[in-house]
Structure 1
Amino acid sequence: MSDSPDPGETRTTERSRLRLSTSARWTLAALIVVIALIVAIWPRSSPDPAPAPSGVSTDSTGTVPGLQASVSDDDMIKAREKAGLQPCPAEPGPAPEGSALKGVSVPCLADGSTVDLGAATAGKPMLVNVWAHWCGPCRAELPVIADYAEQAGDRIRVLTVQGKEGSENVFLSLNLLAEIGVDLPTVVDPDAKIAAALGIPRVYPATVLVRADGTVAAVLPTVFDSVDEVSAVVDKYLGVAA
């Protein structure tokens, strides 16, 4: 017949196990804290630089002119020659008194000259398309706007605008236009003067239809997928059939 375990001895063993379990938990918690501190102070390598925008060539060092480095005058001359943009509108002026663009002067992307838009666009209805070189939908829409301009001919003036967001790097704007084969007259809106004057929301792309007297007929923050779509809204708001 076996001896029964002593009750006092059993309770002592259970307390020892409990103390061991509690001690193990505190040890584990301390270990986690130490590992977290090591991770926090461990030296990290620098992140990889952002990839170049699509269609932008880089030099032997991987530098993208206009994005990661300043652009030389020679780079800009070559970019403008490659883009081959049509001249910005001349200044028949003066701007009509009620013109939304009266007194708005901005740089011409083709040559860097200053254009008085109110005077330069007076007397003819106009389609203004605002875009940015980093905007995917703009890349798709600009050729549609160019095809519409060719179809409409002299019945309407078509002007594109590199918006404020992206105007810091017009080298990339020229690069985009050269890549997609769009040579429409283009101005730059670095201070958002055009956007403010025409009431354009901060979305890209956006199209504004302007009457011959310079007043705004419609602001259309939308993407056009076809020439027929552009023709339809121009006919609706300006009465100009392409």
Structure 2
Amino acid sequence: MRTATRWALVALVLVVAGVVALWPRSDDRASPGPAAVERPTQDLGAARGLAALRPCPRGGPDGPAPLRGVTATCLGDGASIDVATTVAGGPALINFWATWCQPCQEELRVLDGYAQEPGAVPVIPVQVLSGESDGLELLTKLGVHLPSLYDGSDALRKVLKAPPNLPASFVVQANGSVIQVTSPLTFSTPDQVREAVE
């Protein structure tokens, strides 16, 4: 076989392979869309058991007007919950955190310590911008058992117009108003938390 004939055969094979690769398929398999590339839903029961989080508070039907209708997942049991009911009656502290945020990890320990003191107002950590299973794993590792929410859609942060930097904390007053804590930006002692919520 001459060299020109060999190259012609190689070119023909490449053309046929290209046509086969691009030919539309009509079989039952759907092309992978956004849902197909997401991680499969996990059974988080074991992770929830290890984390042993305290139950999410569920107050009266009302709560701060801006928070009504905003839902999040209770990390402790996986139930969908209206955020307004978790802080109904105020005062309460809402704290946004993510697993990759190093200052958040230290602050979560401080918040847990404060929440165990007599007379402490409810502290509601809200995990954002990170995976639910990762959050449960981190809380287990830190030994933090605060009742916590998971805001996968970031809806609560948007409603409160929270800054992009984490951690970020907000005090829900008894009258329903919500105020961002700006001093300090990150709690390092339970005394700082107490001063912010009073």
Question: How many residue pairs end up in the alignment?
Answer: 160
Secondary structure of the structure 2 residue equivalent to 1:134 = coil
Tell me: higher relative CO, structure 1 or 2? Use CA pairs within 8 A at least 6 residues apart: 2
2:139 is the counterpart of 1:171: no
Write the distance in 2 (CA, Å) between the matches of 1:202 and 1:80: 28
Report if the CA contact (8 A) 1:100-1:197 is conserved: yes
Over the aligned positions, Cα root-mean-square deviation in angstroms equals: 1.9
Q: 1:102: Cα distance to partner?
A: 1.5
> Which residue among 78, 84, 89 is the counterpart of 1:112?
78
Unaligned runs of 5+ in 2: 1-37
Report if the CA contact (8 A) 1:83-1:178 is conserved: yes
Corresponding residue for 2:53? 85
Equivalent AA in structure 2 for residue 223 of structure 1: T
Equivalent AA in structure 1 for residue 75 of structure 2: L
Secondary structure of the structure 2 residue equivalent to 1:151 = coil
Report if the CA contact (8 A) 1:71-1:171 is conserved: no
Superposed CA offset, 1:34-91 (max 9, x none)? xxxxxxxxxxxxxxxxxxxxxxxxxxxxxxxxxx964632xx1111100001111114
Corresponding residue for 2:66? 100
- Once superposed, which parts of structure 1, at least 4 consecutive aligned residues long, lie more than 6 Å away? none
Q: TM-score, normalised by structure 2?
A: 0.74
Write the distance in 2 (CA, Å) between the matches of 1:120 and 1:233: 19
Aligned residue runs from structure 1 range 1-242, under 5 A = 70=40, 72-73=42-43, 76-95=44-63, 99-153=65-119, 155-163=120-128, 165-166=129-130, 169-220=131-182, 222-235=185-198
Corresponding residue for 1:35? none
Change (3 A) 1:113 1:233: same
Write the distance in 1 (CA, Å) between the matches of 2:86 and 2:172: 13
Report if the CA contact (8 A) 2:125-2:148 is conserved: yes
Q: TM-score, normalised by structure 1?
A: 0.61
Higher alpha-carbon Rg? 1
Q: 1:124: Cα distance to partner?
A: 2.1
Equivalent AA in structure 1 for residue 77 of structure 2: D
Report if the CA contact (8 A) 2:87-2:172 is conserved: no
